[in-house]
Amino acid sequence: MMQPPPMADRPAPRELILHHFELSPFAEKIRLMLGCKAARWRSVHIPMLMPKPDVLALTGGYRRTPLLQIGADVWCDSALIARVLDRELGGASLFPATQPLAAVLAQWADWTLFWSVIDFASQPACLAHRFGHLTDEQRLAIAADRNPFRASVPKLTPNDAGACLAQYLQSLESQLASGHECVCGDLSIADFSMAHVLWHLRRAGPPAELLLAPFRRVLKWHDRMLAFGHGQAQAMSSEQALQTAAQAMGHEACSVTPEPGLTQGQTVSVAAVDYGHEASWGELVGLNALEVVIARSDVRAGRVHVHFPRVGFRITPA
């Protein structure tokens, strides 16, 4: 069933602050989740390109988009943000116990499907569609920021990426043809991860339209996903968000389950292993199967707990 999950009786949710920019696909995953769960949230716009001093004041180094902030806790990476929102907002879980592989499929979409779309959309006709209105200077600034950012990701030619996408889309079409309304049966995180990537593809102009046209069930499913909308967002400045962190009373409870070479209170760096490797440093205050948490202090944000997913991040003792 592709219905928004019913909201259970539960205490009023805390103030959710999403730091994002409009064009970010990973932020779109989270915005659609917020829409699906009919959430009210605060929207902080972050610049698409470096420098991002107000982001770094919260994270201490990590620069990727989006971030979720609740008080003086900040969650990095949409895979972890999705779990926090699922818990925070209640209703039927988007990580259903009956579909244990939904999160694995979501991870595949966030990596393999995502980079196939990015590389397909690097062909001249797509670039002209997406960036044709920009000046040469603006285009060069985007390339100068993003080329080193993604340098560690293997690159496909647009043609090879198109061939991969045709296969992936055919698989999804067949899955939806076999009586499923959603990617895994019931609505799950896999739908949101595939939806944000196809959202980006559908904005890539005529070559993408041509590629997608035969996949009618995929397009219908995607339209249903987009119909969730974004919930109720209210703008907040990044200065206000930093003040919110500085004034927060305490942090989310967390503790360290020791791992070899990692113990409570030790100074560590945490960095993404795939791309965008900028590390955050701090005191290890939380570690479990799902997340690693460091505590760090900033003159403007105060003492912040920064949470990263355990999967896909390298923890290095100082």
User: Nearest 10 degrees: CA dihedral of 112, 114, 119, 125?
Assistant: 150
Q: Which stretch binds ligand GSH (CB under 6 A): 60-68, 172-180, 219-227, 251-259?
A: 60-68
Nearer to ligand GSH, 65 or 123 (CB): 65
Name residue, tokens 């990590």.
62
Closest CA to 46 of 196, 192, 236: 236
To the nearest whole angstrom, how small is the minimum distance from the Cβ of residue 307 to ligand GSH? 12
221 touches ligand GSH by CB under 6 A: no
Closest CA to 62 of 251, 238, 294: 294
Nearer to ligand GSH, 25 or 231 (CB): 25
Phi first, then psi: what are they for 203, rounded to 5°?
Answer: -100, 10
User: In sequence order, which residues have a C-beta less than 8 Å from that of residue 67 and are 6 or more positions away?
Assistant: 18, 19, 20, 46, 55, 58, 59, 74, 75, 76, 81
Residues 100-159 binding ligand GSH (CB under 6 A) are 110, 149
26 touches ligand GSH by CB under 6 A: yes
Nearer to ligand GSH, 37 or 200 (CB): 200
Phi first, then psi: what are they for 80, rounded to 5°?
Answer: -80, -40
307 touches ligand GSH by CB under 6 A: no
Max CA-CA distance within the chain? 56
Nearer to ligand GSH, 108 or 149 (CB): 149
To the nearest whole angstrom, how small is the minimum distance from the Cβ of residue 233 to ligand GSH? 18
186 three-class SS: strand
To the nearest whole angstrom, how small is the minimum distance from the Cβ of residue 65 to ligand GSH? 4
Structure tokens at 299: 């003159």
Nearer to ligand GSH, 82 or 301 (CB): 82
Helix (H) / strand (E) element for 271: namely strand 267-272
60 touches ligand GSH by CB under 6 A: no
Q: How many CA atoms lie within 13 A of 171 on its CB side?
A: 11
24 touches ligand GSH by CB under 6 A: yes
19 touches ligand GSH by CB under 6 A: no
Residues 259-278 binding ligand GSH (CB under 6 A) are 276
Q: Which stretch binds ligand GSH (CB under 6 A): 9-17, 75-83, 91-99, 234-242?
A: 75-83
Nearer to ligand GSH, 173 or 275 (CB): 275
To the nearest whole angstrom, how small is the minimum distance from the Cβ of residue 4 to ligand GSH? 22
Q: Which stretch binds ligand GSH (CB under 6 A): 34-42, 77-85, 206-214, 227-235?
A: 77-85
Q: Contact, 36 vs 213, CB < 8 A?
A: no
Distance (Å, rounded) from C-alpha 316 to C-alpha 13? 34
78 touches ligand GSH by CB under 6 A: yes
Residues that bind ligand GSH (CB under 6 A): 24-26, 63-65, 77-79, 110, 149, 276
